[in-house]
Amino acid sequence: MFRSRPGSNEFEAGIMKFSRGMLAMNTIQRLIRADDTRKTRFHTSNGHLCLNPYEFLRALTTTVQRTVFHRYSRLPWWAFSAINYLEPLIPRRRVFEFGSGMSTLWFAERCGQIVSVESDPGWHQVVSQQCSAMQNVRIIRATSKADYLGAIATAGGKFDLILVDGFYRSDCLDLARPYLNPGGLLVVDDTDGIAGLAVMVKQLFSDSRIVTFRGWVSGTLHPHETTIICDIPA
Protein backbone atom coordinates (compact mmCIF):
# COMPACT_ATOMS: atom_id res chain seq x y z
CA MET A 1 0.00 0.00 0.00
CA PHE A 2 1.33 3.45 -0.96
CA ARG A 3 2.00 5.67 2.03
CA SER A 4 2.44 9.41 1.67
CA ARG A 5 5.68 10.76 2.93
CA PRO A 6 5.44 13.01 6.00
CA GLY A 7 4.32 16.51 5.10
CA SER A 8 3.16 15.56 1.56
CA ASN A 9 -0.41 16.69 2.18
CA GLU A 10 0.82 20.06 3.34
CA PHE A 11 3.09 20.26 0.28
CA GLU A 12 0.24 19.43 -2.11
CA ALA A 13 -2.03 21.90 -0.37
CA GLY A 14 0.66 24.54 -0.76
CA ILE A 15 0.99 23.81 -4.48
CA MET A 16 -2.79 24.08 -4.93
CA LYS A 17 -2.86 27.36 -3.02
CA PHE A 18 0.01 28.71 -5.14
CA SER A 19 -1.74 27.63 -8.37
CA ARG A 20 -4.98 29.32 -7.35
CA GLY A 21 -3.05 32.43 -6.46
CA MET A 22 -1.32 32.48 -9.85
CA LEU A 23 -4.66 32.02 -11.64
CA ALA A 24 -6.19 34.86 -9.65
CA MET A 25 -3.15 37.07 -10.38
CA ASN A 26 -3.34 36.27 -14.12
CA THR A 27 -7.06 37.09 -14.10
CA ILE A 28 -6.40 40.40 -12.34
CA GLN A 29 -3.57 41.20 -14.73
CA ARG A 30 -5.85 40.49 -17.68
CA LEU A 31 -8.54 42.75 -16.23
CA ILE A 32 -5.99 45.52 -15.77
CA ARG A 33 -3.94 45.09 -18.97
CA ALA A 34 -6.33 43.33 -21.42
CA ASP A 35 -3.32 41.69 -23.12
CA ASP A 36 0.47 41.55 -22.97
CA THR A 37 0.97 44.43 -25.42
CA ARG A 38 -0.51 47.13 -23.15
CA LYS A 39 0.59 48.93 -20.00
CA THR A 40 -3.04 48.98 -18.86
CA ARG A 41 -6.44 48.43 -20.40
CA PHE A 42 -6.56 52.20 -20.97
CA HIS A 43 -3.48 52.22 -23.22
CA THR A 44 -3.10 51.45 -26.91
CA SER A 45 -0.55 48.77 -27.76
CA ASN A 46 2.03 51.46 -28.55
CA GLY A 47 1.61 53.12 -25.16
CA HIS A 48 -0.85 56.00 -25.64
CA LEU A 49 -3.22 56.58 -22.72
CA CYS A 50 -6.92 57.01 -23.65
CA LEU A 51 -9.14 58.42 -20.88
CA ASN A 52 -12.16 59.83 -22.74
CA PRO A 53 -15.06 58.83 -20.40
CA TYR A 54 -17.77 59.06 -23.07
CA GLU A 55 -15.84 56.77 -25.44
CA PHE A 56 -15.12 54.34 -22.59
CA LEU A 57 -18.83 54.08 -21.71
CA ARG A 58 -19.70 53.46 -25.37
CA ALA A 59 -17.06 50.73 -25.57
CA LEU A 60 -18.27 49.18 -22.29
CA THR A 61 -21.92 49.18 -23.38
CA THR A 62 -21.25 47.66 -26.79
CA THR A 63 -18.84 45.09 -25.31
CA VAL A 64 -21.51 43.90 -22.86
CA GLN A 65 -24.04 43.73 -25.69
CA ARG A 66 -21.62 41.65 -27.78
CA THR A 67 -20.31 39.28 -25.12
CA VAL A 68 -23.46 38.79 -23.02
CA PHE A 69 -26.35 39.25 -25.45
CA HIS A 70 -24.52 38.47 -28.76
CA ARG A 71 -25.72 41.74 -30.24
CA TYR A 72 -23.28 43.55 -32.49
CA SER A 73 -23.32 47.31 -32.84
CA ARG A 74 -23.47 48.35 -36.48
CA LEU A 75 -20.26 50.33 -36.16
CA PRO A 76 -16.78 49.57 -37.48
CA TRP A 77 -14.29 48.34 -34.90
CA TRP A 78 -12.14 51.44 -35.30
CA ALA A 79 -11.41 54.32 -32.94
CA PHE A 80 -14.67 56.27 -32.50
CA SER A 81 -12.88 59.48 -33.47
CA ALA A 82 -11.88 57.92 -36.81
CA ILE A 83 -15.51 57.02 -37.50
CA ASN A 84 -16.59 60.58 -36.74
CA TYR A 85 -13.92 61.92 -39.10
CA LEU A 86 -14.85 59.62 -41.99
CA GLU A 87 -18.64 59.69 -41.83
CA PRO A 88 -19.19 63.01 -43.65
CA LEU A 89 -16.65 62.06 -46.33
CA ILE A 90 -18.15 58.81 -47.64
CA PRO A 91 -21.68 59.44 -48.99
CA ARG A 92 -22.01 58.05 -52.56
CA ARG A 93 -18.36 56.93 -52.52
CA ARG A 94 -17.04 53.62 -53.87
CA VAL A 95 -15.28 51.61 -51.16
CA PHE A 96 -13.11 48.50 -51.06
CA GLU A 97 -12.38 46.56 -47.88
CA PHE A 98 -9.62 44.08 -47.17
CA GLY A 99 -11.57 42.25 -44.46
CA SER A 100 -15.35 42.37 -43.94
CA GLY A 101 -17.35 42.94 -40.76
CA MET A 102 -19.48 45.57 -39.07
CA SER A 103 -17.71 48.14 -41.22
CA THR A 104 -19.27 46.50 -44.29
CA LEU A 105 -22.77 47.20 -42.94
CA TRP A 106 -21.80 50.70 -41.87
CA PHE A 107 -20.39 51.55 -45.31
CA ALA A 108 -23.35 49.97 -47.12
CA GLU A 109 -25.77 52.26 -45.28
CA ARG A 110 -23.80 55.35 -46.33
CA CYS A 111 -21.72 54.89 -49.48
CA GLY A 112 -22.56 54.26 -53.12
CA GLN A 113 -20.93 50.82 -53.40
CA ILE A 114 -18.93 48.59 -51.09
CA VAL A 115 -16.80 45.66 -52.27
CA SER A 116 -15.22 43.51 -49.57
CA VAL A 117 -12.97 40.46 -49.59
CA GLU A 118 -13.21 37.84 -46.84
CA SER A 119 -11.19 34.66 -46.30
CA ASP A 120 -12.94 33.18 -43.27
CA PRO A 121 -15.86 31.04 -44.55
CA GLY A 122 -17.93 31.34 -41.39
CA TRP A 123 -17.54 35.09 -41.13
CA HIS A 124 -18.17 35.43 -44.87
CA GLN A 125 -21.50 33.68 -44.38
CA VAL A 126 -22.45 35.85 -41.38
CA VAL A 127 -21.68 39.14 -43.11
CA SER A 128 -23.27 38.01 -46.40
CA GLN A 129 -26.50 37.20 -44.56
CA GLN A 130 -26.46 40.56 -42.81
CA CYS A 131 -26.03 42.33 -46.15
CA SER A 132 -28.36 40.14 -48.21
CA ALA A 133 -30.98 42.86 -48.67
CA MET A 134 -28.46 45.55 -49.63
CA GLN A 135 -28.03 46.07 -53.36
CA ASN A 136 -24.78 48.03 -53.12
CA VAL A 137 -22.72 45.30 -51.41
CA ARG A 138 -20.46 42.69 -53.00
CA ILE A 139 -18.47 40.31 -50.82
CA ILE A 140 -15.74 38.27 -52.51
CA ARG A 141 -14.82 34.94 -50.90
CA ALA A 142 -11.04 34.34 -51.00
CA THR A 143 -9.64 30.84 -50.55
CA SER A 144 -5.94 31.72 -50.78
CA LYS A 145 -3.58 34.61 -50.20
CA ALA A 146 -3.41 35.19 -53.96
CA ASP A 147 -7.21 35.37 -54.14
CA TYR A 148 -7.30 37.74 -51.19
CA LEU A 149 -4.75 40.17 -52.56
CA GLY A 150 -6.12 39.87 -56.10
CA ALA A 151 -9.70 40.64 -55.10
CA ILE A 152 -9.25 44.38 -55.54
CA ALA A 153 -8.25 43.82 -59.18
CA THR A 154 -11.12 41.36 -59.61
CA ALA A 155 -13.54 44.02 -58.38
CA GLY A 156 -12.55 46.25 -61.30
CA GLY A 157 -12.03 50.00 -61.47
CA LYS A 158 -10.79 52.37 -58.80
CA PHE A 159 -12.09 53.31 -55.38
CA ASP A 160 -12.61 56.47 -53.34
CA LEU A 161 -11.68 54.69 -50.12
CA ILE A 162 -9.73 51.52 -49.37
CA LEU A 163 -9.80 49.91 -45.93
CA VAL A 164 -6.96 47.65 -44.77
CA ASP A 165 -8.40 45.73 -41.82
CA GLY A 166 -7.98 42.01 -42.42
CA PHE A 167 -5.19 39.56 -43.25
CA TYR A 168 -1.86 40.33 -44.97
CA ARG A 169 -2.04 44.01 -44.03
CA SER A 170 1.47 44.87 -45.13
CA ASP A 171 0.84 43.31 -48.56
CA CYS A 172 -2.52 45.06 -48.87
CA LEU A 173 -0.98 48.39 -47.93
CA ASP A 174 1.78 47.90 -50.48
CA LEU A 175 -0.60 47.35 -53.41
CA ALA A 176 -3.42 49.79 -52.55
CA ARG A 177 -2.28 53.11 -54.05
CA PRO A 178 -2.84 52.38 -57.78
CA TYR A 179 -6.47 51.45 -57.04
CA LEU A 180 -7.35 54.80 -55.46
CA ASN A 181 -9.13 57.59 -57.29
CA PRO A 182 -7.58 61.08 -57.10
CA GLY A 183 -8.36 62.48 -53.67
CA GLY A 184 -9.03 59.00 -52.30
CA LEU A 185 -8.59 57.86 -48.71
CA LEU A 186 -6.75 54.89 -47.29
CA VAL A 187 -7.77 53.61 -43.84
CA VAL A 188 -5.42 51.29 -41.95
CA ASP A 189 -6.66 49.84 -38.67
CA ASP A 190 -4.61 48.56 -35.71
CA THR A 191 -1.48 50.49 -36.59
CA ASP A 192 -0.62 50.33 -32.89
CA GLY A 193 -0.72 46.56 -32.56
CA ILE A 194 0.80 45.08 -35.72
CA ALA A 195 4.58 45.22 -35.79
CA GLY A 196 6.01 47.57 -38.39
CA LEU A 197 2.65 48.68 -39.82
CA ALA A 198 2.81 52.30 -38.67
CA VAL A 199 6.39 52.61 -39.94
CA MET A 200 5.37 51.16 -43.31
CA VAL A 201 2.53 53.70 -43.58
CA LYS A 202 5.00 56.55 -43.07
CA GLN A 203 7.47 55.11 -45.57
CA LEU A 204 4.95 54.42 -48.35
CA PHE A 205 2.96 57.62 -47.90
CA SER A 206 5.55 60.21 -46.91
CA ASP A 207 4.07 62.39 -49.67
CA SER A 208 0.59 62.30 -48.13
CA ARG A 209 -1.18 63.61 -45.04
CA ILE A 210 -1.35 60.96 -42.32
CA VAL A 211 -3.90 61.39 -39.53
CA THR A 212 -3.77 59.05 -36.54
CA PHE A 213 -6.76 58.44 -34.28
CA ARG A 214 -6.41 56.74 -30.92
CA GLY A 215 -9.28 55.78 -28.67
CA TRP A 216 -11.93 53.32 -27.63
CA VAL A 217 -13.64 50.95 -30.04
CA SER A 218 -17.13 49.51 -30.36
CA GLY A 219 -17.44 46.03 -28.85
CA THR A 220 -13.90 45.94 -27.45
CA LEU A 221 -12.85 47.02 -23.98
CA HIS A 222 -9.46 48.52 -24.78
CA PRO A 223 -8.39 51.36 -27.09
CA HIS A 224 -6.99 50.99 -30.59
CA GLU A 225 -5.25 53.12 -33.19
CA THR A 226 -6.73 53.79 -36.61
CA THR A 227 -4.72 55.66 -39.24
CA ILE A 228 -6.25 57.54 -42.18
CA ILE A 229 -4.09 58.62 -45.12
CA CYS A 230 -5.38 61.64 -47.02
CA ASP A 231 -4.31 63.86 -49.94
CA ILE A 232 -2.57 60.98 -51.68
CA PRO A 233 -0.96 62.14 -54.93
CA ALA A 234 -1.94 60.26 -58.06
Instruction: Tell me: do 75 and 187 sit in the same domain.
Output: yes
Contact (Cβ atoms closer than 8 angstroms) between residue 208 and residue 229: yes
Query: Could you read off the pLDDT tens digit of each residue along the chain, which spans 234 residues?
Result: 433 444 445 545 544 543 554 444 466 666 677 788 889 999 999 999 999 999 999 999 999 999 999 888 989 999 999 999 999 999 999 999 999 999 999 999 999 999 999 999 998 999 999 998 999 999 999 999 999 999 999 999 999 999 999 999 999 999 999 999 999 999 999 999 998 999 999 999 999 999 999 999 999 999 999 999 999 997
64 within some domain: yes
List the CATH number of the domain containing 221. Answer: 3.40.50.150
Mark 133-152 as b/e (b = at least 16 C-beta within 10 Å): eeebbbbbbbeeeeebbebb
As a whole number of angstroms, the distance between CA 101 and CA 77 comes to: 9
Note down the domain range covering 102.
53-230
44 within some domain: no
Exposed, middle or buried: residue 91 (CB in 10 Å: 0-12, 13-18, 19+)?
Answer: exposed
Contact (Cβ atoms closer than 8 angstroms) between residue 113 and residue 131: no
